[in-house]
Amino acid sequence: MTVFYLFRQTLFGLIFLAAGLLTAGAQTALEAALGATSPNPAVVRTDQVKAELLVHAPQGMVPGQPVWLGLQLTHQPEWHTYWKNPGDSGLPTQLQWQLPAGLTAGELAWPAPEKFPLGQLANYGYGGTVLLPVPVQVGPGLAAEPLELRLKASWLACRRECIPQEGEFVLKVPPRGALATHSTAFSAALAAQPREVQSAGSRATVEGQFLNLRLQGLPAAARGNRLEFFAEDAGIIETGAAWTQGWQGDDWTAQLPLAALRSQSPAALTMVLTSAGSAWRLQTPVSGTWPAVAPLPGVSPALAAALEANAQNPQSTAQPANGLGLLAALLGALLGGLLLNLMPCVFPVLAIKMLGFVKTQGRRARVQSGVAYTAGALLSFVALGGLLLALRAAGEQLGWGFQLQNPGVVAALAALFTLIGLNLAGVFEVGHLLPSRLASLEVRHPAADAFLSGVLAVAVASPCTAPFMGASLGLALALPTWQALAVFAALGLGMALPYLAASLAPGVARWMPKPGVWMLRLKQVLAFPMFATVIWLVWVLGQQSGLNGAAALLGLLLLLALLMWTLSLTGRSRSVGVGLSVLACAWGLSWALPLLHALPPAATTSPQAGELWQAWGPERMQELQTQGRPVLVDFTAAWCVTCQFNKKNALQDEGFLADVRARQVVLLRADWTRRDPQVTDALRALGRSGVPVYALYVPGKPTVLLSEILSASELRQALAQL
């Protein structure tokens, strides 16, 4: 059996099993990803938030009449989501509409927020139940049949920890007739909108590190009361700091501290004021000279100057690398590709390739096999690189190894390696499952098999970032497209180079052992590295989806093994066994999907007793840097084998941990097992696009990047420089 036909048979099997699940599969997967329990496609439920798509059209979908859509968020106690300016941390709720022709969604009409203090910090957002309304314009020629309204929304639910969540909503409504079921909710949401106030005599003046406000013409309901202030633009005011306010006749005055890490210096300030359930919105020009922006803690003067230059020219694009820089990236990628052959997640596929290489007779056939394998590896790396660059251009936040951040991809790879292992162990033979004409095609096209062997090798190699690869990939993602693709091609060439050399050099080929009975035993032995890879993938999925997700995957693999065993039977028992096992697989898949996509319990940044490593987060980093503490961050992922090696080999070294305690270094772990835009942003800021990455942040000094394969001595030497 060859990898070519295993791919073909696996694909046929997955298509066959998926055919019976098309009706319920998509909704089940969506609900599973979000922890949803409701069958209503207009409602998404998680453990923290119930989200529902609502519509309000009291006169129907008629041009010129009021029509509103809205996302209603009902929070569990102590949980909240965020306003358009989230404050010191957080992300605002995002809405993406897909409406029928004739309907146009307007801007989200944000209700007035509330403040959530957190020590010296503060966030702006909503608790309890909030409706985020959006006005809709109805054009002429609206279809007469029921209208399908679609919304894709994302929000950040926070308590002490924060959980990114998203949902896709579908609501079908008639084009005619009143839709006023939720009139009370929309009336309350519109009543909570800040009322616009025209205040021609108001002014805002920058004086030193403060912004002084004097507002005139505020409504009578506001006068004499203490007001809460919210700036619509983030990064201007120190949201959690103490500030003063008062009334001078009918004028309201306030002195607000400017943010030390201010991100902008606007010519006009838009604000929302609230008091006793009422809210007002106004804009006033800003006079005075804004103070210089303070540098980030731990940022070198050169980097601070570069950041300021970037802020002056935000539209600048990547420039082609000079010849020396590009050559260094190509050499690093070539060397990194060579070292990929030593990574444990690549070994099983390469072992099978070497077994097939031994069986190949004749120099010409070996050369064809080596060239085909090289072509498969090289083109696969270029294709993956092209996909990564395309997603980068579309605004996606992805990095190398991103495919294993999806639990579905992890489960599919586990199924693939289970099939390979069962075949190597002799449970079934693909040649017995295929028509003789197709089976004979295997002999006539060995080059196609070698090509797909290279494809499979790349599929399992990409999560294993070898030494020298991280910097090359980080540079590649910042280069123009043709230069970046050249770096990815160098990676593929480096990984395939040993096999290409063996196929071209007759002396190397002569050292290969002759085919014989030993090959059957070797084939069976190679099943065990396959099963070891499956164990690793199950562990990876357990990190992503928890213990229940790992157990669900094991159950699916058991049913898959049962199906392959029944295919090896003969006669009537084969037909009955295959039918029953297919039904069992279909049932198991529908049952396991929610568990595979479920989120594990959220980690907290609070250290446990006796635990040195804490969970990384931007807020935690900012807090530690403000305190002047040195921080070592381990950017890692469960699917990264190099990361696991470094944890056992260096990060658990007693001498290193003793130095950490002596120098009061804070250890943070940034987990990228599942896609996390914040971790991706932090990696990109370091010029990296994959893990492992080890960064030592020391206040007042440039950030130190350590080697991708760590040693305890290197760690201790870095800490000795503190």
In 3-state terms the chain splits into helix, strand, coil percentages (rounded to 5) of 45, 20, 35
Give 10-residue mean pLDDT values along the chain (722 residues): 38 35 32 41 89 89 85 92 86 90 89 84 90 89 80 86 83 80 87 85 87 89 90 84 87 87 77 89 87 51 43 38 61 76 56 56 74 85 76 51 63 79 73 45 60 71 51 58 81 82 66 57 74 80 74 84 81 78 80 64 44 85 86 84 80 91 92 79 79 87 85 90 82
The three-class DSSP label of residue 66 is coil
115: tokens are 């403040």
Cα–Cα distance for residue pair 21/25, rounded to 1 Å = 5
Sign of torsion over alpha carbons 32, 37, 43, 46? negative
Burial of 373 (0-12, 13-18, 19+ CB in 10 A): buried
b/e map of 642-670 (b: 16 or more CB within 10 Å)?
A: bbbbbbeebbebeebbebbeeeebbbbbb
Cα–Cα distance for residue pair 574/593, rounded to 1 Å = 28
- Residue 217 Rama label (left phi>0; alpha psi -120 to 50; beta): left
Cα–Cα distance for residue pair 71/76, rounded to 1 Å = 16
Question: How far is the CA of 340 from the CAs of 460, 466, 496, 647, in angstroms?
Answer: 10, 6, 10, 19
Domains in the chain, start-ordered, CATH in brackets?
31-193 (2.60.40.1250), 203-287 (2.60.40), 322-597 (no CATH), 613-720 (3.40.30.10)
What pLDDT, on the 0 to 100 scale, is given for residue 587? 81
Q: Is 281 within 8 Å of 197 (Cβ atoms)?
A: yes
- Residue 363 Rama label (left phi>0; alpha psi -120 to 50; beta): alpha
b/e map of 41-60 (b: 16 or more CB within 10 Å)?
A: bbbbbbebbbbbbbbbbeeb
Cα–Cα distance for residue pair 40/45, rounded to 1 Å = 10
Of 82, 87, 191, 46, which Cα lies nearest the Cα of 133?
A: 191
Cα–Cα distance for residue pair 613/606, rounded to 1 Å = 10
Q: How many CB atoms lie within 10 A of CB 263?
A: 11
Reduce the secondary structure of 226-284 to three states and give it as a string.
CCEEEECCCCCECCCCCCEEEEECCEEEEEEEECCCCCCCCCEEEEEEEECCEEEEEEE
Burial of 475 (0-12, 13-18, 19+ CB in 10 A): buried
User: Tell me, what DSSP letter sits at residue 526?
Assistant: T
Of 489, 493, 490, 485, which Cα lies nearest the Cα of 388?
A: 485
434: tokens are 């295929």
Q: Is 543 within 8 Å of 603 (Cβ atoms)?
A: no
Contacts of 596 (CB under 8 A, 6+ apart): 32, 407, 408, 411, 541, 545, 549, 552, 553
Task: Give the residue ranges of DSSP H helices in 526-676.
Answer: 527-567, 571-597, 618-626, 641-646, 654-662
Q: How many CB atoms lie within 10 A of CB 521?
A: 10
**Radius of gyration of the chain measured on its C-alpha atoms:** 30
Cα–Cα distance for residue pair 33/405, rounded to 1 Å = 13
Contacts 24+ apart (CB under 8 A), 512-520: 512/357, 512/358, 513/358, 515/358, 515/359, 519/355, 519/358, 519/359
Cα–Cα distance for residue pair 528/619, rounded to 1 Å = 44
Contacts of 149 (CB under 8 A, 6+ apart): 53, 55, 69, 97, 98, 99, 100, 103, 170, 171, 172, 173
Q: Is 621 within 8 Å of 631 (Cβ atoms)?
A: yes
Beta strands 43-45 and 49-56, pairing class: antiparallel
Please give the torsion angle defined by the CA atoms of residues 55, 58, 63 and 68, in that order, rounded to the nearest 10 degrees: -30
Write the single-letter amino acid at 424.
Answer: L
Sign of torsion over alpha carbons 403, 404, 406, 411? positive
Question: How far is the CA of 423 from the CAs of 215, 269, 428, 569, 719, in angstroms?
Answer: 78, 68, 5, 15, 50
The three-class DSSP label of residue 394 is coil
Cα–Cα distance for residue pair 622/538, rounded to 1 Å = 35
Beta strands 210-215 and 203-207, pairing class: antiparallel
Cα–Cα distance for residue pair 417/419, rounded to 1 Å = 5
Matching residue, tokens 């609502």? 54
Of 165, 156, 90, which Cα lies nearest the Cα of 124?
A: 90
Cα–Cα distance for residue pair 387/390, rounded to 1 Å = 5
What pLDDT, on the 0 to 100 scale, is given for residue 151? 93
Sign of torsion over alpha carbons 420, 422, 424, 427? negative
Of 27, 18, 48, 14, which Cα lies nearest the Cα of 594?
A: 27
Q: Is 678 within 8 Å of 661 (Cβ atoms)?
A: no
Cα–Cα distance for residue pair 480/292, rounded to 1 Å = 34
Q: Is 672 within 8 Å of 635 (Cβ atoms)?
A: yes
Cα–Cα distance for residue pair 214/203, rounded to 1 Å = 6
Contacts 24+ apart (CB under 8 A), 410-413: 410/537, 410/540, 410/541, 410/544, 410/639, 411/537, 411/541, 411/553, 411/556, 411/596, 412/14, 413/459, 413/460, 413/537
Residue 468: φ, ψ to 5°: 75, -15
b/e map of 117-131 (b: 16 or more CB within 10 Å)?
A: eeeebbbbbbbeebb
517: tokens are 């009975």
The three-class DSSP label of residue 428 is coil
